[in-house]
Structure 1
Amino acid sequence: MIKQLKKGIKITLTLLTFLITVQLSAQTVLSGKVIDSNDKSPLPGANILIIGGSEGASTDFDGNFTLKVTKQFPYTITVSFTGYDTKSIKVNKASDVSLIRLNEGISLDEIIVSASRKREKIQEAPAAVSVLSAKALAAYAVSNPVQALQNLTGVDVATYGIGESKINLRGKSTVFQSETLVIVDYRNISMPSLGQNKSGQNPVDAIDLERVEVIKGPGSALYGPGVEAGVVHFITKSPFKKQGLTLSMGLGNQSQFQTAFRYAEVSENKKLGFKFTGYHRTAEDFSFDDAESQARLESYGSFTSKIITSGVDGRTFEVKVPDLHTESYGVTGTLEYKPSDKTTITSLAGYSTTEGLFRTAQGDGYQTAPRGFAQVRMQSGGLFAQVFWSQQNAGENTWLYGPALTNFNNAEQLEGQVQYNWDVSQNLNLIVGSDYKTFDTDTKGTINGKYEDADEYSIIGAYAQGKYNATDKLDITAAARVDRFAALNHISFSPRVAAVYKASDNHTFRATFNQSTGAPLGINLFTDLPTGQGPAGSLIWLTGGAEAFTYNNGNAYSFITQSAVTSTDFPLRALYNMVAANFAGSPLAASVNAVGTQITGTTSATVFGTPIKRGPLVPSTSSQFEIGYSGSPTNKLKVTLDAYYNKRNNNISSTLLSSKFYGYATAGSDLAAAITAVNPGFANYVLPSGATVAQTFAGGINGVTLNASTGAPNPLGFMSSDQSPGNALDITYFNVESVDYVGVDLGLDYFMSDDVTLNGSISWLSNSYWDEVAISGSTQKVPFSLNVPEIMAKLAINYSPELGFNANAAVRYRGEFQSENGGAWTGTTEASTLVDLSFGYNFDKNIAFKLTSGNLFDSKYRPIANAPFIGRTILGQLTLHFD
């Protein structure tokens, strides 16, 4: 086997070397300069792309570029730059591109890197894509960059607090997690093992953002397991594109105060650039003044403060309930080295932290989450490689108000990737790559419990994608990926097929199929902890899905004895003694006691249903078929229309109650029969009340075991699983069988002039909530929700001249939907209509002020059922730049 493996590697390397050699031998070199047609100034960072090929380049600090091309003359290139018209040039000889002049205008055909993990025109991407430009980012003052995405087509930005928002695209969202992959400069920023994207911890500020690329739909074929909804890629400004010092400061209601800085320089030889960025944001969150939040606070046992116990050493301390203070800050240093026109090596390191309210299915809590990180990446021709590390040291600074216990959570994340793309022939481009990710968590038993030393979480995968230019107008893309998920010893396969038809330069049609694999998170697999107090002294216990969940040992918890028991059968003598205590001091006391010593046997329990068993969790899958159109019917109008059908299998549920309660339907009659069997005369003795002794004892027990109105048995205990403590009411995660739905996204961008744009969109889902979906491997059915609205509509108008007064207004409608989160956040989420308004003034290119009001009319809005209402925000922001 080892010999065969070595032979296979050798053949692969030989073939790869041959292909690269053939490619290099066929290359020609284009070089030129891109300038502004008016003032003749160079345009650094302009994009040059070969039509029908993978080759591309960017201009350097002086507007120069060098591009190695494997195609034979003639061919066409496109040149684009933000804020300028895209230019197409037919190249018959190298000198045709020696000097390229671009006119200021509106580019409807941007260059992106996230859809295929390589440079390509947005019109030709095999996916539905939206881009938020730096100009659009600057239109509003926002408390964090995530909120700037809220007007994009098909993007749901759910605001949970003054500085906390979550992004959802075409997948399932919860109060805690999303299936959307969020990356910054190619590195994953989700919190290790939890899969939570804390936008307050996102180590980037709007003043350093060049653009945001949003890829909608399953993306596992290139990005790996867990990307069932799409990708959001924050791309920051290179120091080679913008130098100098930029400062911003903001003040607003809710005690908002924020500052940010960016400083960048480039060496004299234009080969080395560096930048330092940082931010600090603080505010007071919105009060819990709605009825649902007040009731939840009451269930925590306090409205002001509470004693929290350490889950590690038992020490106690007092905290505010709720603590509305929120704060985040971060710093990053970046070094970018360009040894040649084709090679860039970027290294960075930083630290960020966020603290504030957070929410899980079990309720509200407070969290402080510091995180250090570092990244090195290299791009050289078709080769891309990177390694990314982060370490979160939250320690014990996390707790839920319900159980009032701290959780210890330190986590280390390591990810690496290598990818190579090249033109195999005139019409075929090939991408091959591999990546690896691993999370190592230390919870000191407070979260992972019995899994503390068995919580390995790693994924290794390899992928390939080929793009074939079948004709000048038709591109066919096919990709496939294989991953091994160590935690479940699972191998997944994720294919992708797309056909892109370019009817003309301004009209593109697309048909795609993507199958994506969902990876259960560490919190889904390895959680083993109490999440609250159950009835009669019991606990509510959450157990992860790394192993089977069974009810074979007869474990139970009795409300009568308030203790764990190994059998639900209840001794009749104990029931007899409960009633016999009422005869103390009566003439019958001696007879009652004498009979009691002879009572034997038990009464059998009636279990209300069957406890839900399962095997270990398995990864979910999403299979999506999509057709789309992207085009410009006029040079002022851009239209995107995407319609898709998505089928999801083995969805990971929210936490569900798996234990079943039990009662005693025949306890009274069983006790009466036992008394009669011991002493018929005593049993039939008629008391002054008119009832016999047996009837009196039966009635006394029935008063406890049966409902007085319905006669049905009362719950007097519950079954407990083999995997959790005997005194625990079990909740866990399940795989939920198939759901499917249809979705449509329509977006319109109308450029009335260079300064005025009108944007509108509407998104529709055929269904986002199902009353009954079968649990995989069970006949039991449960509700299931994507936790997103079925209707979203947005309309915005922007007046954004380069200098002087500017203004922006937006209206956003989010339809009503049913939330299903297995805990506090289940119910109806009301529809909302929000108006945002922003005014600003650009004094010159270096001084700008803007004032933004989010939810201008203070409408009642909340992201999910029972969450606190998010009110009006007002933020003023001053930005200064020094060259």
Structure 2
Amino acid sequence: MRIYLFIVSLFFCSISFAQTSVSGSVKDDKGQPVPGANVKVVGESTGTIADSDGNFSLSTAKKPPFSIEVSSVGYGVKKVSITSNNQKITVALADEETKLDEIIVSASRTPERILESPVTVERMGINDIKKTSSATFYEGLENLKEVHFNTSSMNFKSINTRGFATVANNRFMQLVDGMDNSSPALNFVLGNLVGVSELDIASVELLPGASSALYGANAFNGILFMNSKSPFTSQGLSFYAKYGMTSQKVAGDNDYWDFGIRAAHAFSKHFAAKANFTYTRATEWIPNDERSVSGGTIGHANNQNYDGLNLYGDEVTTFIRDVGQVSRTGYAEKDLNDNKLENIKADFSVHIKPWANDFEIIGTHKIGVGNTVYQGANRYRLENFIMQQSKIEIKNRNFFVRAYMTTEDAGDSYDMRFAAWNINRTWKADKNWFTDYATAFLNSQIQLGATATQAAALARNFADFNISPTGLATPLTPYVDPENPNAPTGIRYEPGTPQYNNALTAVRQDSNFATGAKFIDNSKIYHSDVNYNFKELIKYAEFQLGGSFRRYSLDSKGTIFTDKDSGIDYDEYGAYVQMQKKFMKDERLKFTGSLRYDKSQLFDGQFSPRISFVYTAGVNKNHNFRASFQTGFRNPTTQDLYIGLNLGPFALIGSEASNLTRYHETLPVSSEAIAAGQDPTVSFSGVDAYTRPAYTEASIKQFDQTQDPSVLKLATKPNLVKPEQVKAFELGYKTVLENGLSVDLNGYYNMYNDFLSTSRLVLPYYGVAQENLPYTDEAIDAVRRKDRRTFQIYSNSATTINSFGFGVGLAKKVYKDFELGINYNHAQFDFDQAKDPSFIAGFNTPKHRIKGSFGNPKLFKNFGFNVNARWSDEYMWQSSFADGTIPAITVFDAQISYAIPTLKSVIKFSGSNIGGKDYLQVIGAGRIGQMYLVSLTINP
């Protein structure tokens, strides 16, 4: 009832003030529209942005006469007097450098000049979107200062700002028209799979630092805002079509298709609607990394325990007495899916303005369907993946109330590693295969005098194809397990054969990971937000009050989470207040203070304060200095809490207390152990993973090399997870000098506490893990025989992690309309590994990055061009899938465009990674090749 009365009070506040409406158009000195121009009421924060045709509409409670200020990048500022209600005006802007003078909303939840932002903000407006040299505007974000991409798939790019990010970047938030774009089950953004069409995008704003004070949990290391166009101001039928070629060493040359359509119409001044549809189809950047994860040389010819990074099935391994450690023959990732990518996005919205003011009711539904590849602990093929969002929002210039629901359906998605394992088991059971290998190996040595290398080749040939080594006294026959006489004993299925294709189809449709690879996910998020700005009620300062509520509802039928018997639900909520006020003569000093409180039903509440000062110096108020302190926190994700997934070589077990008791598994022990009197199976629970003494994974690898028990080290006992926190200090300076040079400087220092991370612990099947045990101890026997279980657990690091960096951005018109821009970012981190030996930082960010752009949108009549270049140095990549070094890269992108004004269309030719080598951004993913496109956009 209280919430109802609050919303009703907001409703009446919104209609109780008289409105003054102003509309018109913004043009340049040649009479051409200026899309994305900023229109602002002088002396207020009320403002709007011109649409793609330069048209705008603005409402304010201020009564005439007053002035509005119109500006846009590359043009001078112009003030226009407003003398009456419903006045229509045409504003002509003259060319002039005004970089960094756009209006933004994200930094303080209120319109303000980007120059006066209390924190670092990167922005991409309509003009920037039009001139991007990348295949899509979303990929063009990589040219922004502070942005680094982690590419898992051609259509799945994860944004990384300020480090500590894998493909699953759950420290970064993405909002599309106020809706969190994260997957309900995965808790991170799936790129732009369910985002915005480039025909409908109005602006993009990026806050690279902690933003929890206003946006709550998970706005931890950055937040991206994508804002779409209103059908009241951007009407008509728009269309684009792109065709091109992609080229990669592994995948070869392939077609690329992308097209979209947008329809928007204002049926009256009270009702408008819009719809968007896009379709993309391409061939994947195919991964083909053959390095051996298990050590040794590449290939089974000289390494009988070979485990190729992008070969799956060879993770199934066992120790055979007098033979050694042996792995099964794997299948390449490129043979475990069709390597075709598709993405279909559609959205529909209705907009209602009941009265002659800015009060608006919006109903939206979005759906995204696609195929892509996600890399976590394994490589997952997301096939026919569906994600939907439905929203109802009520807003005006002072408040908004919104509620939305996000649902997802994993469709036909599957784990490619499990697919390979179970294809192998379809034609020959593991026990049968290893018995055949051992029999052929030993007989080849005894009867034929074969060397170990020769015996290994003959043994694999027999185990895979039932071909007995030539010259044996008695030809070998496949082993039949007396305990399981129906176990398959056939011949290896080769990729492309009907037997292989049928087996792959079968395991993809089977959700039992003992025999199949399919995972199920029908999880949901329910979320609501409210915000009220008291600027028209309180004149002393600008006060805002808001809050949010979220419910997670997990449903994987036990294939991801421990929810086999029932679903898992839990809630989070929060509230915040912010004050913003200007001081000193001419209001040159702006203070912003925010405080937010968040509570999850699983954890204690968190306070997130933020304070910032912005001082504007100079006669023209064009030198802006800022200093801020803000905090962020991140609640453990649904996977951190409730995952319970046996991945074969290791198991993932979430840290929530009830999850530990729900997870159980039973594993077979080695034949050598059974002969020594051990039970044939051993059982583990999640409690064992978090409470029993265990060895560090690093020391286990040392033991495998040395067989020296003294190298084994006990892992730190993990605690159950709690929210991680960051304290962020930032300084910045922005200006546009009289010579037109735009300067943007920032530096930051972050201190992380209770840093959420994963560790791998190794438990012996029998005995008790201890340090300095004799070689004959039962636990050492278990480790030596590979009778040991690796668990990946979730916990908070005991040490403080610090990160710091700075950025420099410069831009200027160097000659007429030729624009040159360059930026540099430095990022690094520091922590004491000795205080937490098992901690894996996963910073995954280059220390040095340089980006540059050069272009001219008016090279000559109707022609324009733009060139982008990026360089970054090598850095260490760490993730649960694989570690390794990412080499330094240099990438060039370029585009030329030709406008046809009579058809209101633009033809563009673009290329990405022009003339470059295939390059890597994620260890385990495909290298990124070249892309060349031609596109036609019609935007009346």
Measured against the shorter chain, the TM-score band is: 0.7 to 0.9
The structure having more radius of gyration, on CA atoms, is: 1
2:126 paired residue number: 134
Q: Decide whether the 8 Å contact of 1:86 with 1:102 is kept in 2.
A: no
- Whether the 8 Å CA contact 2:134–2:893 is kept in 1: the answer is no
Q: CA deviation at 1:609?
A: 3.3
Specify which of 882, 885, 894 is matched with residue 825 of structure 1.
882
Task: Please identify, of 620-629 and 327-336, the stretch whose mean Cα deviation from structure 2 is larger.
Answer: 327-336
Cα distance, 1:648 vs. partner?
A: 0.9
The answer for the alignment partner of 1:838 in structure 2 is 895
Distance 1:443 1:96, change over 3 A: closer
Quote how far apart the aligned CAs of 1:183 are. 1.4
Question: Could you tell me which amino acid in structure 2 is paired with residue 499 of structure 1?
Answer: F
Q: Which of 152, 163, 166 in structure 2 is aligned with 1:160? A: 152
Report if the CA contact (8 A) 2:574-2:596 is conserved.
Answer: yes
Q: Is the 8 A contact 1:141 1:876 kept in 2?
A: no
Structure 1 residues 292 and 164: alpha-carbon distance in aligned structure 2, compared to 1, 3 A threshold: farther
What are the superposed Cα offsets for residues 363-417 of structure 1, whole Å, 9 maximum, x if unpaired? 4544441122222222223011111122111145232424652211111222111
2-structure distance, mates of 1:14, 1:290: 56
The 1:478–1:24 alpha-carbon spacing in structure 2 relative to 1, beyond 3 Å, is: farther
1:861 corresponds to which residue?
919
The 1:632–1:731 alpha-carbon spacing in structure 2 relative to 1, beyond 3 Å, is same
- From 637, 643, 663, the equivalent of 1:527 is 643
CA distance in 2, matches of 1:341, 1:427: 25
Q: Aligned residue for 2:808?
A: 746
Matched, 1:734 2:795: yes
- For the pair 1:173 / 2:152, whether they are aligned, the reply is no
Q: Given the superposition, is the C-alpha separation of residues 799 and 657 from structure 1 closer, same or farther in structure 2, using an over 3 Å criterion?
A: farther
Q: For 2:576, what is the secondary structure of its paired residue?
A: strand
Flag the 1:81–1:346 CA change in 2: closer, same or farther, 3 A: farther
Aligned: 1:482 with 2:592: no
The 3-state SS of whatever aligns with 1:800 is strand
Fraction of identical pairs, as percent: 23
Equivalence for 2:92: 102
Rounded Cα–Cα distance in structure 1 between residues aligned with 2:35 and 2:873: 43
Q: Give TM-score scaled by structure 2 length.
A: 0.73
Q: Summarize the Cα distance change of 1:395–1:280 in structure 2 as closer, same or farther, 3 Å threshold.
A: closer
CA deviation after TM superposition for structure 1 residue 19, in Å: 13
The residue number in structure 2 matching 1:849 is 907
Please tell me the residue identity of whatever aligns with 2:750: N
Equivalent position of 1:545 in the other structure: 655
Q: Is the Cα contact below 8 Å between 1:264 and 1:275 reproduced in 2?
A: yes
Structure-2 residue corresponding to 1:879: 937
1:340-351 alignment, distance < 5 Å: 340-351=356-367
Distance 2:35 2:271 in 1: 15
Q: Name the counterpart of 1:764.
A: 826
Separation in structure 1 between the aligned mates of residue 744 and residue 573 of structure 2, nearest angstrom: 35
| Distance (Å, rounded) in 1 between the aligned partners of 2:11 and 2:402 | 25
Find the counterpart in structure 1 of residue 77 from structure 2.
86
Q: 1:151 aligns with which of 134, 143, 148?
A: 143
Separation (CA, whole Å) in 2 of partners of 1:191 and 1:606: 45
- The SS at the match of 1:193 is coil
Kept in 1, the 8 Å contact 2:630–2:727? The answer is yes
- Give the match's secondary structure for 1:240: coil
Structure 1 stretch displaced more, 187-196 or 606-615:
606-615
Letter in 2 for 1:266: H
**Cα offset, 1:101, TM superposition:** 2.5
For 2:336, give the aligned amino acid.
V
Report the equivalent of 1:514: 630
Deviations 1:75-114 (A, max 9, x none): 87533357753335689x8799985633153543111121
Secondary structure of the 1:135 match is: helix
2:310 aligned counterpart, secondary structure: helix
> Distance between the aligned counterparts of 2:282 and 2:813, measured in 1?
36
Q: Give the Cα separation in 1 of the matches to 2:49 and 2:907.
A: 31
8 Å contact from structure 1 (residues 290, 869) kept in 2: no
Q: Counterpart in 1 of 2:552?
A: 439
3-state SS of paired residue (2:594): strand
Secondary structure of the structure 1 residue equivalent to 2:616: strand
- Specify which of 754, 776, 795 is matched with residue 852 of structure 2: 795
Residue 296 of structure 1 is aligned with which of 309, 318, 326?
309
> Deviations along 1:575-599, whole A, 9 cap, x unmatched?
xxxxxxxxxxxxxxxxxxxxxxxxx
SS at match of 2:291: helix
Task: Give the Cα–Cα distance (whole angstroms) in 1 for the partners of residues 930 and 120 of structure 2.
Answer: 32
Does the residue aligned with 1:733 lie in a helix, a strand or coil? strand
Q: Post-superposition shift, 1:29?
A: 5.0
Asked whether the 8 Å contact 1:855–1:872 carries over to 2, the reply is yes
Q: Which residue of 2 aligns with 1:361?
A: 377
Q: CA deviation at 1:332?
A: 1.1
Aligned mates of 1:790, 1:411 — CA distance in 2: 37
Write the letter of the residue equivalent to 1:873: M
Corresponding residue number in structure 1 for 2:348: 333
CA distance in 1, matches of 2:189, 2:7: 42
- What's the counterpart of residue 695 of structure 1? none
Using a 3 Å threshold, how does the CA distance of structure 1 residues 267 and 144 change in structure 2: closer, same or farther? Answer: closer
Amino acid of the structure 2 residue aligned with 1:292: R
CA distance in 2, matches of 1:178, 1:292: 28
Cα distance change of structure 1 residues 665 and 527 upon mapping to structure 2, 3 Å threshold: closer
Partner Cα separation in structure 2 for residue 270 and residue 864 of structure 1: 50
Q: Cα deviation per residue 1:196-229 (whole Å; 9 max; x = unaligned)?
A: 3222513322222122111121011111101111
Partner letter of residue 522 of structure 1? T
The answer for the alignment partner of 1:237 in structure 2 is 229
Cα pair 1:606 1:664 within 8 Å, conserved:
no
Deviations 1:473-521 (Å, cap 9, x if unpaired)?
00100001111112x2331111110101111432211111110011211
User: What number of residue pairs does the alignment pair up?
Assistant: 760
Matched, 1:381 2:397: yes
Aligned residue type for 2:238: T
Partner of 2:641, secondary structure, is helix
By how many angstroms is 1:543 displaced?
0.4
* Contact 2:759–2:838, Cα closer than 8 Å, also in 1: no
Matching residue within 484, 494, 497 for 2:611: 497
Alpha-carbon separation, structure 1, partners of 2:21 and 2:906 = 39
- Conserved? CA contact 1:142–1:875, under 8 Å: no
Are the structure 2 counterparts of residues 493 and 330 from structure 1 closer, same or farther at C-alpha, using a change threshold of 3 Å? same
1-structure distance, mates of 2:47, 2:641: 43
3-state SS, counterpart of residue 784 of structure 1: coil
Summarize deviations over 1:285-320 as a string: whole Å, max 9, x none.
1233343398123343499xxxxxxxxxxxxxx994
SS class of match (1:859): coil
Name whichever structure is richer in strand by fraction.
Answer: 1
RMSD: 4.0
Change (3 A) 1:375 1:65: same
Match status 1:418 vs 2:480: no
Q: Distance in 1 between matches of 2:682 and 2:35?
A: 74
Provide the C-alpha distance between the structure 1 equivalents of 2:626 and 2:639, rounded to a whole number of angstroms. 37
Distance 1:397 1:42 in 2: 46
AA of the residue aligned to 1:772: Q
Deviation per CA, 1:780-802: give whole Å up to 9, x if none: 44342311111111011122129
Q: Secondary structure at the match of 1:253?
A: strand
Paired residue secondary structure (2:639):
helix
Q: Which sits farther off after the overlay, 53-62 or 348-357?
A: 53-62
Cα contact 2:556–2:563 (8 A) shared by 1: no
Query: Aligned-pair distance for 1:328?
Result: 0.8
Once the two structures are TM-superposed, the CA of residue 624 in structure 1 deviates from its matched residue by: 0.4
CA distance in 2 between partners of 1:480 and 1:35 (Å): 39
Aligned residue number for residue 478 of structure 2: none
